[in-house]
Chain A
Amino acid sequence: MTRPTTDDPCAACPAYARLEQMGIKMDRYDRVVALAGNPNTGKSTLFNALTGLKQHTGNWPGKTVTRAEGGYQFNGVKYKLVDLPGTYSLLSTSQDEEVARDFLLFGQPDCTIVVTDATALERNLNLVLQVLEITDKVVVAVNLIDEARRKGIEVDTRTLSRDLGVPAVPIVARSGEGIITLLSTVADVIEGRIITHPRRVEGTPAFQQAIQELTPLIEQLAPGIPNARWLAIRLLEGDARVQRAIRSGELADIVARQRAAEDRLSGTAAIIGRQ
């Protein structure tokens, strides 16, 4: 394997990782990463740290109501980063939650970073578990560990990773601590170097059976759809948005788009591999 030679001695080290903020220059990108999380956990701060953009941040829940996009380059791969509005759950129907949910479901990010607040982890995990129902490709960023430390709260991210079945990385978005580890973990999850086994809430046997009956039907309707199980759950709950997506044929479109993106990405990946 050859690395680009530079005068920078660090570049020779295998652990060398290069982060380049790309602002809004995203006309060409290889991967899409979504930032989800409860309100006021520092998603926008992390977004700004990665992209070099100046998305407004504020110390109150609900600051970001639209989704912002930016780019960063990490170890030669270009990532598009989408900052979603903070939500406590993906189950209700307020507009900012719908923005977040629609993107996770229909925007098909290659990986989702769920930013959590280390000082209020339990409440934050509700959302993590809901995101895990939708997608496997998740990395949990445990943010504000400096604040937690000051408050005498210790988060054991290894136990957390094991219990959730996806990587959990401690970070301090404001100072940049842990961000390189977070990014390489995200890259590992996307490229399949880390295989996740997300924890899924089982529910009652009757419910399990209903899901098992419905999921294959959805898969027949849209072969290759990645989150048929979640769609089945939503349909059982009578979710109007998902009903609409099924009726309008939006699902088939998503799968087609996904295929096209994958073809394009494998091409790009080959080019990156050659360098």
Chain B
Amino acid sequence: MTTPEDVLVRAETLRNRLPSSFRDEIVQSLYAEAERIARRAVKTAGNRQYDLDQRIDRLVTAPVTGLLIMLLLLTVVIWMTVSGANVISDFLFTLLFGVGDWARALFVEWGVPWWITGFVWDGVYRCLAWVVSVMLPPMAIFFPAFTLLEDLGYLPRVAFNLDWLFRKAGAHGKQSLTMMMGFGCNAAGVISTRVIDSPRERLIAILTNNFVPCNGRFPTLIMLATVFVAAGFGGAAASVIAAGAVVAVVLIGVAFTFLMSWLLSRTVLRGEASAFTLELPPYRRPNVLRILYTSLIDRTIFVLWRAMLTAAPAGAVIWLLANIPFGDASLAVAIARWLDGFGRLLGLDGAILLAYIIAIPANEIVVPTMMMIYTNAGMMVEAPANDSAIRALLVDQQGWTLLTAINLMLFSLLHNPCATTIITIFKETRSYKWAAMSVAITLGTAFLVTFLTASLARLAGLSLRSGALALAEPVEARAGAAPGGIVVVLICPGAG
């Protein structure tokens, strides 16, 4: 009777009897055989297409032009997203909020109790409408553009261009491929790190993937860039400035990826970057119908659906928080006030931090949640539905400055991964330690960076966030007895 141990022992003795080079010999004879068979079966004539591919590659992968082309493509894609998204967003806002207001009025007319009307239309529906009008347009433009580049065969060229930087950071060159997947969704980015062989470099790629802003965070960045950074400019210039600001944020994220990879590979994940071969595929003509299908149905609708699933309960939670009395105010106001001190330290405020806590399940709902806290906890019935209304709410009523917006953009770029991504990191690493580490690294960086910029700004005497939190107490508001000192502003008549 043969036992497993017998077989293993026998294999061991046989192996020791073989010359130590036998493994290389096997691989070599394999390669020689492949070459021989291929030579017999393949006939090659002239090669014009190949020449063209090579000429394009010489430009696209050269040290200087390669980086410039990369930057240009990134800017063009983001500019298209920013300028196109605005138009569709405005339309969706008007449409969806119009429907909401009409339905709300109908409920009031029917004499439905105020708390049902509020819960359904001011809570759940409004958050959903926000998410759809903020999220859908940028995705519907960004995803097809990105899929087009993917189908052309451009992504591996980016990996080739950035390889030397990753090597310097002690990370794997294929990490840039995983980062590009992260633009779509960080959870997808984390899964795509499987292409990296070395566990050490794979962990680095997983832990830093969140520094690439995903599609859930793009709308936040785009909105802030449009409303604050590009506010003083008109027409075409505004969209270029806004796109430039978003590109700058993306580049800061890339810089943090390198910095953090470098730090990790010199501390907890010590080691050298491993060599690898990366094939540059031929440029292929993209299949337009398939691109539209993949990017719109699979990616856009999928991500939007996920966002809506988290937005509906988030809207309910916000409305409840804003309508459950706590002390002299509502629960939302109490929490926001309690967080306010810490928020100010980071150049933000309590309402923003509360929005980030509620939005842990999905980054997509940060802005809607923030707006809901500002509006629901205040006494406004109307939600801001276009750029000037948002500006009116944030600047005139809540005292935001450009620096608040910049700090929020930085925070949005650097803060913790969403719940889906954290779960994915746990699944991929099978380790609570690394999942927790991914949160600690990103949140720590976000706190540190925003604290530093806020402190520097304060030292320079710049105003970060003027005025107090303008959050009112809704119970009195319902009774119609607006107390003095609380700002009551009805904005955006356009949506009504």
Contacts and interface: CB of A to CB of B under 8 A. Distances in A.
Nearest to A92: B197
B396 interface: no
A88 B34 CA distance: 13
Q: Which of under 10, 10 to 19, 20 to 34, or 35 or more describes the interface residues of B?
A: 35 or more
Given A125-B38, A203-B26, A62 B177 contact: yes
B236 interface: no
B63 interface: no
Contact of A159 (B40, B46, B150, B277): B40
Contacts of A207: 18, 22, 25-26
Given A54-B294, A151-B50, 6 more contacts: A59-B155, A156-B41, A206-B22, A218-B7, A235-B7, A237-B15
Contacts of B15: 210, 235-238
Contact of B4 (A157, A160, A201, A246): A246
Interface stretch (A93-101, A105-113, A184-192): A93-101
Which secondary structure dominates chain B's binding surface?
helix
A249 to B, nearest CB: 7
B194 interface: yes
B192 interface: yes
B320 to A, nearest CB: 39
Please provide the 8 A-B residue pairs with the shortest distance between their CB atoms, ordered closest to farther.
A152-B45, A94-B197, A122-B38, A62-B195, A125-B34, A65-B194, A235-B11, A59-B153
Interface in B31-61: 31, 33-35, 37-50
Contact of B42 (A39, A147, A155, A174): A155
B152 interface: yes
A220 B6 CA distance: 11
Contact of A235 (B8, B26, B195): B8
Interface in A211-241: 213-214, 217-218, 220-221, 232-233, 235-238
A236 B12 CA distance: 7
Interface string B180-209: 000000000001101111000000000000
A163 B18 contact: no
Contacts of A159: 40-41
A150 interface: yes
A213 B15 CA distance: 12
Contact of A62 (B6, B7, B14, B192): B192
B22 A56 contact: no
Q: Which of under 10, 10 to 19, 20 to 34, or 35 or more describes the interface residues of A?
A: 35 or more
A147 B53 CA distance: 13
Contacts of A150: 49
Interface of A: 39-40, 54, 56-62, 65-66, 85, 88, 91-96, 119, 121-123, 125-126, 128-130, 147, 150-157, 159-160, 163-164, 174, 199, 201-204, 206-207, 210, 213-214, 217-218, 220-221, 232-233, 235-238, 243, 246-247, 249
Interface in B257-290: 277-279, 281-282, 284, 287, 290
Given A95-B194, A217-B6, A129 B33 contact: yes
B174 interface: yes
Given A174-B287, A247-B4, A160 B37 contact: yes
A40 B26 contact: no
B15 to A, nearest CB: 5
B437 to A, nearest CB: 20
Contacts of B10: 213-214, 217
B326 interface: no
Contacts of A235: 7-8, 11, 15
A40 B281 contact: yes
B328 interface: no
Contacts of B433: none
Nearest to A203: B26
B163 interface: no
Contacts of A62: 174, 177, 192, 195
A122 B279 contact: no
B151 interface: yes
B37 A163 contact: yes
Given A59-B153, A60-B150, A66 B294 contact: no
Contacts of A56: 294, 298
Contact of A217 (B7, B23, B33): B7
Interface in B111-148: 147
B154 to A, nearest CB: 8
Contacts of A40: 279, 281
A174 B151 CA distance: 13
A152 B37 contact: no
A207 B21 CA distance: 11
A54 B299 CA distance: 12
A5 B479 CA distance: 78
7 contacts: A58-B150, A58-B155, A60-B156, A154-B42, A201-B26, A201-B30, A214-B10
A91 B27 contact: yes
Nearest to B152: A59
Nearest to A91: B27
Contacts of B22: 203-204, 206-207, 236
A159 B43 CA distance: 12
Given A60-B281, A210-B14, A249 B45 contact: no
A160 B279 CA distance: 24
Nearest to A126: B34
A60 B17 contact: no
Contacts of B281: 40, 59-61
B293 interface: yes
